[in-house]
Amino acid sequence: MKTPIVSTTLRYAVLVAMTLIVIVPFVGIVLAALHPADGQVTGLAIPSQLSWENFVLAWDGANFDRLVGSSVLIAVCVVPLALVLATLAAYALAVLKVPGSRFITPAFVFGLTLPVELVVVALYFNLRGVGLLDSYVGIILAEAALFMPFGIYWMHAHFSSVPMELVEASRIDGARDLIVLARVLLPISWPAITTLAVLYFMWSWNQFLLVLVLMQDPNKRTAPAGLGYFVGQYSTNIPLLSAASIIVIAPIVIMYLIFQRSFVSGLTQGAVK
């Protein structure tokens, strides 16, 4: 079937228009971030001089040393922890079929629908009771729990797609469960695990409400949570706010450009159940 040139052009025109709608806001904040701090920014305008120092001012003003440090620390702990827990549990539920897996799996997966709002208030008081407020340990475990439904769901789906003959064969050779997991399943699971790791990193980096509530100490807040407070402080200083926003999204955008395939497949394939 041959498509006439005119209609193909029209289709690309629509795509380009959509692209502009997505891109213009970014162009907007990049341009705004380069305007002189405290100056007026009107719409999309190229500044007469590029004020790169805004990034330094925003970095120091919002105390990004601390914020980015916290974000990195939390993400670096949450991602491997949540991965290991979800992989082990999904292995037991999907491959070993431990007793009760018929009920345990849905119990985890049910959590996918529940909003953070449902747990955050009680979590604040529960953690206050055991001294885990303002604590990295508290946040890390809370995020690991929050991401567990998707992780178990995702790894369960992946392990279920592995031909059982592979597992049975090595079992017959006398391999123990953990050896089967490490030698047989993990080597063929890296694409699924990478995707999950990338999503976990993103969710951890972007997490806002949980951090806002569980981290009252300004020195331990994450980058997005710190930015949430920075808005209140500098609400009219558009150049600095824009610069701060770019600092916060830079890691996730770089990550996205490198692993875009994982992001898209994780959020689309992972969703299609």
Q: Where in 212-251 is the site for other proteins (CB under 8 A)? A: 212-213, 224-225, 227-228, 231, 238, 241-242, 245, 248-249
The packing angle between helices 64-90 and 223-233, to 10°, is 140
Residue 93, CB-side half-sphere exposure with 13 Å CA sphere: 24
Q: Where in 14-73 is the site for other proteins (CB under 8 A)? A: 14-15, 18-19, 21-26, 28-29, 32, 40-44
Rank residues 220 and 247 by Cβ distance to other proteins and give the closer one.
247
Q: Where in 143-202 is the site for other proteins (CB under 8 A)? A: 144-146, 148-149, 152, 154, 156-158, 160-161, 164, 168, 171-172, 177, 191-192, 202
- Tell me the C-alpha to C-alpha distance, in Å, between residue 192 and each of 166, 173, 188: 18, 26, 9
- Tell me the C-alpha to C-alpha distance, in Å, between residue 165 and each of 158, 168, 173: 15, 5, 12
- Contact assessment for residue 36 and residue 239, using Cβ atoms and an 8 Å cutoff: yes
CA 23 to chain centre: 21
Rank residues 19 and 219 by Cβ distance to other proteins and give the closer one.
19
C-alpha closest to that of 44 among 64, 29, 63, 66:
29
User: Which residue from 37, 61, 69, 126 is in contact with other proteins, where contact means CB under 8 A?
Assistant: 126
4 binds other proteins (CB under 8 A): no
- Contact assessment for residue 117 and residue 185, using Cβ atoms and an 8 Å cutoff: no
Rank residues 57 and 227 by Cβ distance to other proteins and give the closer one.
227
Task: Work out how close the CB of 148 gets to other proteins at its nearest, in angstroms, rounded to a whole number.
Answer: 5
Q: Where in 82-101 is the site for other proteins (CB under 8 A)? A: 84-86, 88-89, 91-94, 96-100
